[in-house]
Amino acid sequence: MRISRFFMPVLRDAPSEAEIVSHRLMLRAGMIRQSSSGIYSWLPMGLKVLNNISQIVREEQDKAGAVELLMPTIQSADLWRESERYEAYGAEMLRIKDRHGREMLYGPTNEELITTLFRDGAHSYRDVPCTLYHVQWKFRDEIRPRFGVMRGREFLMKDAYSFDLTKEDAKKSFNRMFVAYLRTFERLGLTAIPMQAETGPIGGDLSYEFIILAKTGESEVFCHKDLLDLKAPENVNYDSDLEPVMAPWLEKYAATEDVHDADRFASEVPRDKQISARGIEVGQVFLFGDKYNEPMKCAVQGPDGKLTTLQSGSYGIGVSRLVGAIIEASHDEAGIIWPQSIAPFKIGLLNLKVGDKDTDAACESLYEQLQSMGQTVLYDDSKERAGGKFKTMDLIGLPWQIIAGPRSVKAGKVELKNRASGEATELGLDEVINFFVTKSTDSPSTGTGRKSTES
Amino acid sequence: MRISRFFMPVLRDAPSEAEIVSHRLMLRAGMIRQSSSGIYSWLPMGLKVLNNISQIVREEQDKAGAVELLMPTIQSADLWRESERYEAYGAEMLRIKDRHGREMLYGPTNEELITTLFRDGAHSYRDVPCTLYHVQWKFRDEIRPRFGVMRGREFLMKDAYSFDLTKEDAKKSFNRMFVAYLRTFERLGLTAIPMQAETGPIGGDLSYEFIILAKTGESEVFCHKDLLDLKAPENVNYDSDLEPVMAPWLEKYAATEDVHDADRFASEVPRDKQISARGIEVGQVFLFGDKYNEPMKCAVQGPDGKLTTLQSGSYGIGVSRLVGAIIEASHDEAGIIWPQSIAPFKIGLLNLKVGDKDTDAACESLYEQLQSMGQTVLYDDSKERAGGKFKTMDLIGLPWQIIAGPRSVKAGKVELKNRASGEATELGLDEVINFFVTKSTDSPSTGTGRKSTES
């Protein structure tokens, strides 16, 4: 993409409305604009990141055997009366009357709707286990939206719902999602710790929140320090028993403040391993059995011929919130540092003297070659001065920068800079192409998990 | 995908609520379910088609130089007061009050919102031309939703908006979208004719609707018969003058009933070339100049240093409606016939005797091989009887069926059936793999444009 044909309105100064660094950087980098309180437009740069995150979330859902569908945003109030949540949900639910005066709502979650879909579509024990998910915009009418996309009102969420014949099978479906979440967050470059949590308005017996530690987190959390060093499992066989895979996370203490047990924490966790910090919730898993299936009569014929009420859980990932959370975890004073896996473009190509024939030719050639290799490149072909181009490129945080000025191009060279480490090397024009052929895809030094230096 | 792990609740009988064939087939094939009047859930099979259509729409938008972003579904009423459309829009607009009593609405279109985004982000003549688009759910509170996704209330639409410095440039942006639409619909296997149309609530001077002829169309249209035979241009250079490319469509009479001129029609079109038929609108393009930019003060500094109000157009494609429109144009009495370009899976693999060791082994082997070649395969590994499997596979309309029964497998063979033509051939197991290596991708005989035989 050429910047001259893109739409990326960067801001030099931090907007006063933004209280936290991710919100400031998303506004400055031209990723989002607020259109109403807690409601954002995703500008092209922001949308690319949002899509890249969604893609990883989907891939891991699919691997775990979940099947994607798409439920609408607007639901009928009557549906929520079946589960008795319509009155209970409170003012966060955006309630609507249509032109005929029928009561509708903008879905904050989808347990009721998926339950009717599965109830009407499944008839036999052969139709389970089944886990369905969608990635759809939700609305929660927060009384005080803040922190940009971290606590917005209209937000993108992946929510999955499992249906099983027995409690034991339901736990297996729960485990598959639990492990898929470990893998998802690791691929996003995040250390997200599953912590025991309250079940809240979703309900049920068992719930974990997946939490990223960050100063700007909305709640306090407590956990064993070793949990920060665990690595997500690879090559998971989702048909196997996953309890051993999950064990390292479940053996050590981790709890949100709502369910925190100070005595257990003190006795189970050595003092030098006790972490008490702020956390950002990026996902939550619930096992709630027949809470919705019983009142909504979601049942199938069992192998014994008897009608059997199904057992369920639900599993959410805050996709739009993750954009902010990842920036909170990966930035420096100059701007964002994108993990490769979700970077909007992998390479930023800076032409320091647009109009200079040799520099233009070198840049055009690099741009064409890199793109034909399947690399994503943002080519700064604008008339801005070099200083501004450097600042913009650091701000938007692409993993690699290729810097082409007239002097270096005359010597057949360009500069290759790693945004995360700041390391820069002079390379020949062919060398820089070769670098991206052979090295870059899985380079370990490209910007994930870097500590922030801005407070 | 194995059917045993999929969620595809097919119906043997046509639901009484469905008046037209596309609606009946989408319900029967387990593609959609209505959750409220005019509001649908997209089940896995339906979502795949919706995504495939969206993908083609996006590719052609990108080729034409449009840049994707994403605006939210919920907008502020105040925004629509700036353009004076809030009161004017009428009862089709879904109006909402949030918890603080602020007036909001579910966007039926996005001229106002994109105008503020561009106004705030663009400052110089160097920032134009710029065409931005998004693919987002919209809501129009139809008084009488009907025909399934063809006239739903919550619907998916691609809408693009162009910004230019002069009227001449705006016409060039308009032309790019016009040509992109010709290409988009052709790739979708449709003959969509651009017809002069009223501008309606969007406004402006120039508007064309892209219309598919179909008995179930919502309005009457009139055109020259030769327009049905035109082929969309290939390898378009979007930086060139597109007027000659568009000329074949514009030279011949084509108009919707709202702007139809019976005298002109009679004098310009020979009697044997006069078509008067029902039409389904699948896209519309508008050129409206400064209609929104003037009141909303969307202007940039021109090359002469003076503030210049921009010139704009907007360009919509009804993505969810297209699913129904394509089925209206491509089905037979047994079910849907998907064009290859948007088929949810390219191949249906039927195991006629699940549990028979040799048949299972042959099917598993084909399934693995075809998938590893990048083919999309729906494998019917269910316990259903052969007759039911045949019916389901014809109903859901995948372009190719591979039928494996114990007798043929014993002879090392399977049957390959083309859904569109009905032709079936016996092939060796290796031959069927080879067929998909060498032949299938661009085979001309695979289901696009087939005439329907169901009335």
A99 Cβ under 8 Å from any chain B Cβ? yes
Boundary-marking domain end, from A279, A310, A329: A329
**Does some domain include residue B4?**
no
Q: A42: which strand partners? A: A32, B70
Q: Cβ A41–B75 below 8 Å, yes or no? A: no
Neighbours of B75 (CB within 10 A): 24
The helix, strand and coil proportions of chain A, stated in percent and rounded to the nearest 5, come to: 35, 30, 35
Within the 127-186 window of chain A, which residues sit less than 8 Å (CB to CB) from chain B? 127, 130, 132, 137, 139, 141, 143, 153-154
Domain identity same for B209 and B108: yes
Chain B environment of A30 (Cβ under 8 Å)? 121
Tens of pLDDT along B325-382?
999 999 999 999 999 999 999 999 999 999 999 999 999 999 999 999 999 999 999 9
Helix (H) or strand (E) holding A414: strand A413-418
Q: CATH number of the domain at B285, please.
A: 3.30.930.10
* Count of domains observed in chain A: 2
Based on C-alpha coordinates, what's the Rg of chain A? 24
Domain identity same for A161 and A48: yes
> Closest residue of B to A143, CA-based?
B99
In the block, tokens 């709890």 appear at A255
A121 Cβ under 8 Å from any chain B Cβ? yes
User: Looking at residues B291-315, what average pLDDT do you find?
Assistant: 97
Domain identity same for A343 and A398: yes
What value of ipTM does the predicted structure carry?
Answer: 0.94
**pLDDT score for A445:** 39
Domain identity same for A306 and A346: no
Domain identity same for A302 and A345: no
Report how far apart, in Å, the C-alpha atoms of B128 and of each of A352, B65, B111 are.
Answer: 22, 12, 17
**What percent of chain B clears pLDDT 90, i.e. is strictly above it?**
91
**pLDDT score for A452:** 38
Output the DSSP codes for A50-105. Answer: HHHHHHHHHHHHHHTT-EE-B--SEEEHHHHHHTT-TTTTGGGSEEEE-TT--EEE
Instruction: Measure the CA–CA gap between B311 and B290, rounded to whole angstroms.
Output: 5
Instruction: Measure the CA–CA gap between A184 and A367, rounded to whole angstroms.
Output: 31
Q: Cβ B67–A122 below 8 Å, yes or no? A: no
- pLDDT band for position B218 (cuts 50, 70, 90): confident
User: Looking at residues B122-130, what average pLDDT do you find?
Assistant: 96
Reported as half-sphere exposure (CB side, CA atoms, 13 A), residue A436 has a value of 28
Mutate to test the interface with B, among A17, A47, A98, A134 (most CBs of B within 10 A): A98
Domain that holds residue A409: 339-438
From the list B7, B120, B141, the residue facing A130 with the nearest CB is: B7
**Does some domain include residue B16?**
no
> Closest residue of A to B117, CA-based?
A33
Q: Cβ A76–B383 below 8 Å, yes or no? A: no
Chain B environment of A65 (Cβ under 8 Å)? 5
**Does some domain include residue A173?**
yes
Instruction: Measure the CA–CA gap between A24 and A452, rounded to whole angstroms.
Output: 14
Instruction: Measure the CA–CA gap between A214 and B52, rounded to whole angstroms.
Output: 39
State both tokens at B289: 């100049």
In the predicted structure, residue B443 carries a pLDDT above the cut 50: no
Render each residue's pLDDT in chain A as its tens digit; 455 residues: 999 999 999 999 888 889 999 999 999 999 999 999 999 999 999 999 999 999 999 999 999 999 999 999 999 999 999 999 999 999 999 999 999 999 999 999 999 999 999 999 999 999 999 999 999 999 999 999 999 999 999 999 999 999 999 999 999 999 999 999 999 999 999 999 999 998 877 777 899 999 999 988 989 999 999 999 999 999 999 999 999 999 999 999 999 999 999 999 999 999 999 999 999 999 999 999 999 999 999 999 999 999 999 999 999 999 999 999 999 999 999 999 999 999 999 999 999 999 999 999 999 999 999 999 999 999 999 999 999 999 999 999 999 999 999 999 999 999 999 999 999 999 999 999 999 997 545 443 333 333 333 33
Mutate to test the interface with A, among B2, B4, B5, B7 (most CBs of A within 10 A): B7
Report how far apart, in Å, the C-alpha atoms of A239 and of each of A64, A128, A289, B366, B382 are.
Answer: 9, 14, 21, 22, 19
**pLDDT score for A439:** 56
User: 3-state class of A122 per DSSP?
Assistant: coil
Reported as half-sphere exposure (CB side, CA atoms, 13 A), residue A309 has a value of 10
From the list A5, A73, A120, the residue facing B73 with the nearest CB is: A73
User: 3-state class of B125 per DSSP?
Assistant: helix
Within the 281-300 window of chain A, which residues sit less than 8 Å (CB to CB) from chain B? none
Chain B environment of A42 (Cβ under 8 Å)? 69-71
Q: Cβ A30–B121 below 8 Å, yes or no? A: yes
**Does some domain include residue B313?**
yes
More confident residue, A202 or B436: B436
Domain identity same for B229 and B373: no
A73 Cβ under 8 Å from any chain B Cβ? yes
Max Cα distance, chain B (Å): 81
In the block, tokens 């052929």 appear at A437
Give B330's contacts (C-beta < 8 A, 6+ positions apart): B189, B336, B337, B338, B339, B447, B448, B449, B450, B452
A68 Cβ under 8 Å from any chain B Cβ? yes
